[in-house]
Structure 1
């Protein structure tokens, strides 16, 4: 695409979501001060393209065109009004020597969201999470100069958080966008149907599907427990320790609470206690 092309400024479609609404800390004070601006730019980029993919007022072709424009801009191939977030991300990647692939993986996943609303099995869901969530962890590891041998552990943590989010939002995703991230083969096997997600409470069949997802997250969380132990950067190890404990706590909450009947989240006192536990474990170097 031409670097001289000018675009309309309204490419982004902000949802109002922010770092404060996430399950995990985004660029907290545990991250080194000089790296926090890069983390903030990465989050802003991810939030902007996620909001495009989730906008119910855009058709699939429009979403993909906007996401392609973001891809060209973050690669440094296009500039113009409306692409400022992607251009700032490009500049950050150049300055920090982090590969652009993490951003392109996110775009790939969100383009998929524009055209795909069901996932046949767990492995297909994990493939999506490997591009919609895991790039966040891989970006942070690269930003801190960590060994890429630890990507698999980081992927497990990010994918668990993504599936936790899918369970938290399963009713809204269905009602607002007709999206279901729960594996379809599990739903058929257990006897749950799509319409169960539109009810006020989880049916017994849907509850069993959710329990299977919880079990999958527990397995991912077990792998992720190694992350704070293996990281060289102590600040990042502390940050990951907090996030590991949050993932474990939310998984526990989802095993006991109905996400159709209530928003399953951690209240501030519980969140602070969970974070403190994660920091303590990371400082001791224990799983």
Structure 2
């Protein structure tokens, strides 16, 4: 496929796979929007191969003997990704989209490897033992994608502080997913809440969704949501350094996903009676709020652009509040493992 065809397929993928991200992507300028779609398509395809799904949905019963092992699915993801990074045609539009994207923006092999490490954790049936483990998982499955998104938006590979804050937004998003999807994950035999937290709450392994443990689960979820707020606050500082339309899109996504975590926390023990989601009206309200936030930032430093602009236009790197564990620390944890 040529670029136009890859973009068309990627647009179809994001509209099918995530209404929230599809809505936020429309706020970018055309070039950035198309590149965001290309990146999404690759991430979505990797996720679907890992979980044997189609855009996050079950693909129907799999015949006995045809299901691939988690290790084989991971090998498929790695092989197709490596071919795409090498500039080869894979025959799979979503992976060819990554190859196209790498020819257009300064994505690095390390950035891609950090995302693939998240799929490796799931393939190994890995579970977080402590809070740092949970954050490390969030880094690989979402924070590392945030770093790639920042590169797509033009943030320089040398602008470590802004890349760190892009990573922080991905981590905040993933924590929101974890607290919302406790019941769904449990049905798949998964739990991404730290074992140490469960022990402290006297919740036995594998029983996190039992009705009589809901009361004990609520403070744990509030603790996770507090972490998400810290990472989201850090990310908003990085968003202020982007060009206006990019800032608007990023803040819209932050408002939408932050709203999910806040709603889960507000509902308490009833958070899992049904899957928490944002309505169309709520999404529009979040986008409007983000427009006002982005406008305010534009008035404060109108010349500041992604990866550039006068030094006085943004808070000096490293001086603004940061969450407890940074991108670098979380990545090094994975390397030590």
What is the TM-score normalised by the length of structure 1?
Answer: 0.84
Cα–Cα, structure 1 residues 29 and 64, in superposed 2: closer, same or farther, change >3 Å?
closer
1:158: Cα distance to partner? 1.0
In 2: Cα distance, 1:23 partner to 1:152 partner: 26
* Structure-2 residue corresponding to 1:196: 207
Preserved contact between residue 265 and residue 271 of structure 2 (Cα < 8 Å): no
Cα–Cα, structure 1 residues 202 and 268, in superposed 2: closer, same or farther, change >3 Å?
farther
1:248: Cα distance to partner? 2.9
In 1: Cα distance, 2:181 partner to 2:13 partner: 14
1:113-165 residue CA offsets vs partner (Å, 9 max, x unmatched): 11124111111111122221112221222122224221222121110111101
1:202: Cα distance to partner? 5.7
In 1: Cα distance, 2:85 partner to 2:34 partner: 19
Preserved contact between residue 187 and residue 193 of structure 1 (Cα < 8 Å): yes
Q: Does 1:244 align with 2:254?
A: yes
Structure 2 residues without counterparts, runs of 5 or longer: 1-11, 54-66, 301-337
Q: Does 1:227 align with 2:238?
A: yes
In 2: Cα distance, 1:201 partner to 1:23 partner: 34
Cα–Cα, structure 1 residues 225 and 79, in superposed 2: closer, same or farther, change >3 Å?
closer
1:95: Cα distance to partner? 2.6
In 1: Cα distance, 2:231 partner to 2:205 partner: 26
Cα–Cα, structure 1 residues 84 and 240, in superposed 2: closer, same or farther, change >3 Å?
closer
Secondary structure (helix, strand or coil) at the match of 2:82 reads helix
Cα–Cα, structure 1 residues 65 and 183, in superposed 2: closer, same or farther, change >3 Å?
same
Structure 1 residues without counterparts, runs of 5 or longer: 1-15
In 1: Cα distance, 2:226 partner to 2:129 partner: 18
1:203: Cα distance to partner? 1.5
What is the TM-score normalised by the length of structure 2?
Answer: 0.72
Q: Does 1:25 align with 2:21?
A: yes
Q: Does 1:187 align with 2:184?
A: no
Secondary structure (helix, strand or coil) at the match of 1:96 reads coil
Preserved contact between residue 227 and residue 240 of structure 1 (Cα < 8 Å): no
Preserved contact between residue 13 and residue 41 of structure 2 (Cα < 8 Å): no
Preserved contact between residue 155 and residue 163 of structure 2 (Cα < 8 Å): no
Secondary structure (helix, strand or coil) at the match of 1:165 reads helix
Aligned length: 268
Structure 1 window deviating more from structure 2 (83-92 vs 108-117): it is 83-92
Structure 1 window deviating more from structure 2 (182-191 vs 95-104): it is 95-104
Cα–Cα, structure 1 residues 161 and 20, in superposed 2: closer, same or farther, change >3 Å?
farther
Structure 1 window deviating more from structure 2 (262-271 vs 100-109): it is 100-109
In 2: Cα distance, 1:37 partner to 1:77 partner: 19
Preserved contact between residue 142 and residue 170 of structure 2 (Cα < 8 Å): yes
In 2: Cα distance, 1:134 partner to 1:195 partner: 27
Cα–Cα, structure 1 residues 202 and 53, in superposed 2: closer, same or farther, change >3 Å?
farther
Cα–Cα, structure 1 residues 45 and 80, in superposed 2: closer, same or farther, change >3 Å?
closer
**1:52-67 pair list within 5 angstroms:** 52-55=49-52, 57-67=67-77
Secondary structure (helix, strand or coil) at the match of 2:104 reads helix
* Structure-1 residue corresponding to 2:263: 253
